[in-house]
Amino acid sequence: MEKISVVVSCYNEEKALPLFYEEIERVIKQDFDGIADFEYIFVNDGSKDKTYYICVKKGYKVIDLPINLGLAGGFQAGVKYAYRKGYDYVIQFDADGQHLPEYIEPMIEEIEKGYDIVIGSRFVEKKKPFSARMMGSRMISLAIKITTGKRINDPTSGMRLYDRKCMREYAQEVNYGPEPDTISYLIKNGAKISEIQVDMEERIAGTSYLNFAKSISYMFRMLMSIMVIQLFRKR
């Protein structure tokens, strides 16, 4: 029986967490009962609200980080745990309800075709809308295409499935954030990546940490990393 870990990075998600857990648990029991062994790992990334206490009260598996390490630090903490516990796959998921657990099954089916990473993409069959944020996504996709020869339609999607080989990379190496520049780097080093079409919902609760200014900063940081810094990165 395959062992699959769902790593959920949480920052101030007290309102969304119970609803998220209820929905993903419903889908997992419906689609995978007796077929695969799932564990949810909630990484409390220095939340200032009651996220940690809700996890403890409801009996969720939780890694409590005393300070906010950001997405990269939180995800790596969860992956290290999953890797040491011998899980076969790890799924990167958000706790805000945007990622739908119904797509976990087709993502697993896709990775079992021989891929190392499967991305839940909004834009395999659908076109990207024209907005400032999607313009950044287009530029990042182009940068990855130029530097690797591989087109990634939704490079900023936070819904990804990794095999054990990639888990080892994220668990043992530094500067391996779950970001487009790492995806680009892994492609250059032979990783096989596929995308499947998914839909994403609006947040259940709370607000995104990415405002307009942070989105612009993020885009330029990713472009600089993909186009320049990756040229000097050694494995």
pLDDT tens per residue, range 17-50? 999 999 999 999 999 987 889 999 999 999 999 9
With contact defined as beta carbons under 8 Å apart, do 207 and 20 qualify? no
Query: What's the whole-number average pLDDT of the chain?
Result: 91
- Dmax over CA atoms of the chain, in Å, equals 48
66 in any annotated domain: yes
pTM: predicted TM-score of the whole model, two decimal places:
0.92
Q: What is the reported pLDDT for 211?
A: 63
DSSP character string of 176-220: --SSHHHHHHHHHTT--EEEEE--BPPPSSS--S--HHHHHHHHH
pLDDT tens per residue, range 159-183? 999 999 999 999 998 888 899 999 9
User: At 180, which CATH number?
Assistant: 3.90.550.10
116 in any annotated domain: yes
Q: What is the reported pLDDT for 209?
A: 58
Which of left, alpha, beta for 59 (phi over 0: left; psi -120 to 50: alpha)? left
Mean pLDDT, rounded, for 75-82 = 95
Domain count, the chain: 1
pLDDT over 70 at 60, yes or no: yes
171 in any annotated domain: yes
pLDDT tens per residue, range 91-135? 999 998 899 999 999 999 999 999 999 999 999 998 887 776 778
221 in any annotated domain: no
165 in any annotated domain: yes
Q: What percent of the chain shows pLDDT beyond 70?
A: 96
133 in any annotated domain: no
Q: Which residue range(s) make up the domain with 61?
A: 2-128+154-205
